Structure 1
Amino acid sequence: MALLRLLGRVASALVLLALLAARPAAADERVLPTFAPACHAATEAARPEAAMRGRAGWVCHNGDWRSGSEAAWLRFEASAWQGQDLPRQFFSRIARFETITLTAIDHDGTRRVARYAEADAEPVAAGPVFRLPLPEVTPATALVLVRIEAPHSVPLLTEARLTRDMDHAAWPRIEIMLLAFVMGMLVLPLLFDVSFFLVLRERFVVLHAGLVSAMMVYVLTAGGLVTAFARLPLAAMAVLGPLSYALGAGLSALFLTDFLERGAQSPLLRRVTIAIAWFTIIVPGICALQLGATQRFDDTAYFLAFLPFILVITTAILEAVMRGSRSARFIAVAWTPIIIASVERLLRGLGAHVGPSSLDQMLFVALGIEVVVISLAIADRFLALRRERDAALTEAKMLEQISTRDSLTGLMNRRAIEARFDELLAQGFDTFALVDLDRFKAINDLHGHQVGDAALIACASAIRASDRDAVAVRLGGEEFVVLLRGPRPLERAEALRQAIPMRIAQEVPGLDLPVTASMGVVMLAEAGRHRMAFAEFYARADALMYEAKAAGRNRLAYERLTVFNAPPESRSKGEERAA
């Protein structure tokens, strides 16, 4: 919670910085004059300019802006620049159009006309603005009419201005610095995503990297930062900005469904979130192309298509927070500023209110906040997943140990030794000793299974402690296997066998007779050259062990193999009695 409070303060500070960047100039700052249209109108393409010279058909208040008309008209009156420098340039927000016709009309009816195609528009360095030269404006000019054919954006109309000096059309230096700062904030999380993915192969890391990349393109094009170091055609900038925002929004919804913990979303809402993600990529994405066939509705449809997206995303976050999702709390902090800024931009794009382009700084700062906070959330999730995986690995090792270890004695069981037998044989464990406690059933019958278990534990302890270069296994019941390597394996096997009765006597008091052991030992010379299976070793050692029991128990029987063949009818064997 302390981290979330800190992030909230950082977010507030950055939003405040954006508001300060968008503030009006102080009284003592030099303000270059710009002139807004006095009236605007939307007509069919066939409406002649002569019909627009009068007052009829104009909207002379700051409302009812429409971008879906065949032609939009802006009326600039000479009274706006009386006593000031005459305007020389027309500029507006970057958006697609077919043609712009600029007409300067003098009081005596003299007309000077300049007509431009979209390709003639020149983006202004450092800002999402383009400019066009006006026809000559003189002191005798009464008004300037601007006809925009097939406009694709309301801000193209609401932010249109006339000016003498294009330095005022560029964004203030502090706003460009803020954009550069936001770009830096976007680059670092992208590097973090790459680093995280190398360690954490999770899809949500890739989705976030795609989201960050889309937002970088948006800041570069919609913010106009790219014009500070490159010249792109107006059409490319007009399309890349909204298209990258639609792609980023869709990826953010997919990221949400992948990033939230299991159970943080209901199945229904998760399906709806995935559906709205693809809807947002496809529908606003097509509208963002600003094609001639979609000109009448693409601007309005683009912004309206984000309404269900905002509704679904907000609902999904609230549901996940209510379900106790830690990741959802990070997302709520990260996405609240961007949702608020996006709603403002949506209303401005629909013409519901008119504001300066500097309001976009709020959205850009919100994007910077989003990627930084989400990067912290990914780091937090990364640590959580590592803890979960470490716990799972520990549990898996415990389960593996349970499945490969005898629960009573802690020695390897038959399953484990059979799996590792070839490896141990290659490592030089070429002596196979099979140990069986003599008359063990009598211990269970006379003293109970609890005492019998204690005797088995003591036997395992004796086997484990008697030889450091040995591998001990409990096959089941009172039967054990010891694999030996190194010099004098027969003498060491005998010492091990003799240690068993002494250890049982020490740890299990009250037994009437000592608990002895019989042993069958098979030694294979040059074991690495032969492929002798565990079952074959066991069969030979088992036969030897029963020979030892038949000879009186409490002894060792062995054989030494130089070349392994099928067990013969008669074999060379030795037998030793315990001292």
Structure 2
Amino acid sequence: MARWARALTMGAVLLGAAVPAHAQSSFADATVMTWDGVLTGIFLGLLLFSLAYNAAFYALLRERFLIWQSVRAFAYFALAIGLSPLAMGGFFTPDSFARQVWITLFFDLGVAVSGPFLRAYLEPGTIPKRLYRLLGWPPFLILLTTPVTVMADPPGLYFTLRSLFLVTMLTIGVTTVAIALLRGSRTARYQAAAWSGIGGVYGVSLFHDIVLQTPFESFLFLLFPALGLEVMLTALGILDRLIRLRRERTEAQAQAEAMRVIAHTDPLTGLPNRRAIEESYGQETPVAIAIVDLDHFKAINDRHGHDVGDRVIFAAGVALGSGSAMAARIGGEEFALLFRCEASAVAGEAERLRQRVGAYIAQMVPTLKRPVTASMGLVHIARETSFGAAMKSADINLYAAKESGRDRVVFIEAA
């Protein structure tokens, strides 16, 4: 039993829920001490709160560290019951073999999941790659040595291997948090603070065991407050981490939406571009589509310069965007319109928008000496017509409008 207790102590700081040799026996014999039951009840209540807390947040943000922390909290809960004076039935009496198996299994489980918890919990980039790998599956090697703790006379090499695993995991955990702190991890601050109380209690206990050779009588009284502090500070750290994750995701979503808008918007006119109008067409097929082209636009650029030409295009965009049709600039001086009004109203709305182009340009670019007109190719489309086919039909009609003298709409009934 002494060997078992020393092994348990080696991993205590990493798990935060084991006791040294003298403490375990005094804990089991302390059934007459009412404060033991009170502290146990408070601690178990904190663990139940932690489990509910993790479940509630996991429903909002499905982060893996919430699962690992829930497993740790469950292991804490089961271990605290095993170490407490609470009655567990005749089979699990305080000094029974079954009780020792119970304690060992949940202790090892808590140690094993502490590595994956840290790996998922600390911010990306704050854990060195080598330590990140070591915090993954290697901690579960401890479970392979669990049987040694319940053997009457375990092989020395087997016990040494278990001790090595526990000390190694303790070292990896402390090193990981220390390096994360140096790299500016905010989460590591919470975890270091959470483990500081347990580390202090065990440090004093080990000093009594090794140097003074006497039991640390206040160990039980201080252990549960230290464990409670660990649970609360870890919960606060998780809350802080989740708030920052939520903020980062919101900012990322806002940035993605901004990029999507930029990718679907013409920078000169502010109208949707060809990609945007094609997506809109795919979502809901319109009753008609039109292509609008400014007449003799090259002459405007040649005579007045590209800055005036840009103002003309902007004014045309304002005119076309003010109607009931969805307007988009599809390139140069060309625009597309999607009509989702009644089919009988399409021709009249198209002609009003076409005439509005010239009026808006005259008002917004008064330096032009000649009026600017627009030609339009308009076509009714069937429900099964693709965007490419509809645009091709409208382009044919636009070409016909240009060939027949410009400044007009050419319209056919179906594509």
**TM-score scaled to structure 2, two decimals?**
0.86
TM-align CA RMSD: 3.1
Pair 1:242 & 2:104 matched = yes
Matching residue within 279, 293, 312 for 1:419: 279
In the other structure, the counterpart of 2:75 is 214
Q: Partner amino acid for 2:326?
A: V
Q: Cα deviation per residue 1:199-250 (whole Å; 9 max; x = unaligned)?
A: 21111111000010000011000123344x7862511211222331222123
Q: Partner amino acid for 2:124?
A: R
Q: Report the secondary structure of 1:224's partner residue.
A: coil
- Contact 1:222-1:242 at 8 Å conserved across structures: no
Could you say which structure has the larger radius of gyration? 1
Cα deviation, residue 368, structure 1 = 1.8
- Contact 2:30-2:85 at 8 Å conserved across structures: no
Q: Distance in 1 between matches of 2:124 and 2:24?
A: 47
Matching residue within 303, 312, 319 for 2:172: 312
Unpaired segments ≥5 residues, structure 2: 6-17
Q: Distance in 1 between matches of 2:391 and 2:161?
A: 80
Q: Distance in 1 between matches of 2:153 and 2:169?
A: 25
Pair 1:510 & 2:367 matched = yes
Q: Report the secondary structure of 1:531's partner residue.
A: coil
Q: Report the secondary structure of 1:421's partner residue.
A: helix
Q: Partner amino acid for 2:263?
A: S
In the other structure, the counterpart of 1:447 is 304
Q: Distance in 2 between matches of 1:518 and 1:499?
A: 12
The verdict on how the C-alpha distance between 1:230 and 1:389 changes in structure 2, with shifts beyond 3 A counting, is farther
In the other structure, the counterpart of 1:499 is 356
Looking at secondary structure, tell me which structure has more helix per residue: 2
Single out whichever of 352-361 and 194-203 deviates more from structure 2. Answer: 352-361
Cα deviation, residue 158, structure 1 = 7.7
Pair 1:540 & 2:393 matched = yes
Q: Distance in 2 between matches of 1:364 and 1:157?
A: 13
Unpaired segments ≥5 residues, structure 1: 1-65, 70-92, 94-127, 129-152, 161-165, 565-579
The verdict on how the C-alpha distance between 1:350 and 1:306 changes in structure 2, with shifts beyond 3 A counting, is farther
Matching residue within 192, 216, 229 for 1:369: 229
In the other structure, the counterpart of 1:520 is 377
In the other structure, the counterpart of 1:555 is 408
The verdict on how the C-alpha distance between 1:157 and 1:334 changes in structure 2, with shifts beyond 3 A counting, is closer
Q: Distance in 1 between matches of 2:325 and 2:213?
A: 85
The verdict on how the C-alpha distance between 1:281 and 1:514 changes in structure 2, with shifts beyond 3 A counting, is farther
- Contact 1:197-1:205 at 8 Å conserved across structures: yes
- Contact 1:276-1:308 at 8 Å conserved across structures: no
Q: Distance in 2 between matches of 1:224 and 1:430?
A: 78
Q: Partner amino acid for 2:317?
A: A
The verdict on how the C-alpha distance between 1:540 and 1:276 changes in structure 2, with shifts beyond 3 A counting, is closer
Q: Cα deviation per residue 1:138-189 (whole Å; 9 max; x = unaligned)?
A: xxxxxxxxxxxxxxx95499869xxxxx9x8524101210111011011101
Pair 1:470 & 2:325 matched = yes
Q: Distance in 2 between matches of 1:388 and 1:219?
A: 37
Cα deviation, residue 553, structure 1 = 1.0
Q: Partner amino acid for 2:338?
A: L
Q: Distance in 1 between matches of 2:91 and 2:217?
A: 21
* Same amino acid, percent of matched pairs: 33
Q: Cα deviation per residue 1:397-418 (whole Å; 9 max; x = unaligned)?
A: 1221222222222222222222
**1:14-163, aligned counterparts within 5 Å?**
67=2, 155=22
Q: Cα deviation per residue 1:36-79 (whole Å; 9 max; x = unaligned)?
A: xxxxxxxxxxxxxxxxxxxxxxxxxxxxxx8469xxxxxxxxxx
The verdict on how the C-alpha distance between 1:68 and 1:517 changes in structure 2, with shifts beyond 3 A counting, is closer
In the other structure, the counterpart of 2:40 is 179
In the other structure, the counterpart of 1:267 is 129
**1:325-474, aligned counterparts within 5 Å?**
325-343=185-203, 353-355=213-215, 359-425=219-285, 429-465=286-322, 467=323, 469-474=324-329
Cα deviation, residue 396, structure 1 = 1.1
In the other structure, the counterpart of 1:252 is 114
- Contact 2:327-2:337 at 8 Å conserved across structures: yes
Q: Cα deviation per residue 1:460-495 (whole Å; 9 max; x = unaligned)?
A: 111111x2x311111111111111122421111101
Matching residue within 338, 355, 370 for 1:483: 338
Q: Distance in 1 between matches of 2:90 and 2:257?
A: 57
- Contact 1:434-1:538 at 8 Å conserved across structures: yes
Q: Partner amino acid for 1:245?
A: F
Matching residue within 136, 139, 148 for 1:287: 148
**TM-score scaled to structure 1, two decimals?**
0.63
Q: Partner amino acid for 1:201?
A: R
The verdict on how the C-alpha distance between 1:557 and 1:159 changes in structure 2, with shifts beyond 3 A counting, is closer
Q: Partner amino acid for 1:436?
A: D
In the other structure, the counterpart of 2:15 is none
Cα deviation, residue 383, structure 1 = 1.0
The verdict on how the C-alpha distance between 1:159 and 1:433 changes in structure 2, with shifts beyond 3 A counting, is closer
In the other structure, the counterpart of 1:119 is none
The verdict on how the C-alpha distance between 1:276 and 1:339 changes in structure 2, with shifts beyond 3 A counting, is farther
Q: Report the secondary structure of 1:225's partner residue.
A: coil
Q: Distance in 1 between matches of 2:3 and 2:212?
A: 15
Cα deviation, residue 548, structure 1 = 1.4
The verdict on how the C-alpha distance between 1:271 and 1:536 changes in structure 2, with shifts beyond 3 A counting, is closer
- Contact 1:154-1:299 at 8 Å conserved across structures: no
Q: Partner amino acid for 1:243?
A: L
- Contact 1:433-1:483 at 8 Å conserved across structures: yes
- Contact 1:435-1:479 at 8 Å conserved across structures: yes
**1:187-202, aligned counterparts within 5 Å?**
187-202=48-63
The verdict on how the C-alpha distance between 1:347 and 1:258 changes in structure 2, with shifts beyond 3 A counting, is farther
The verdict on how the C-alpha distance between 1:200 and 1:184 changes in structure 2, with shifts beyond 3 A counting, is same
- Contact 1:437-1:517 at 8 Å conserved across structures: yes
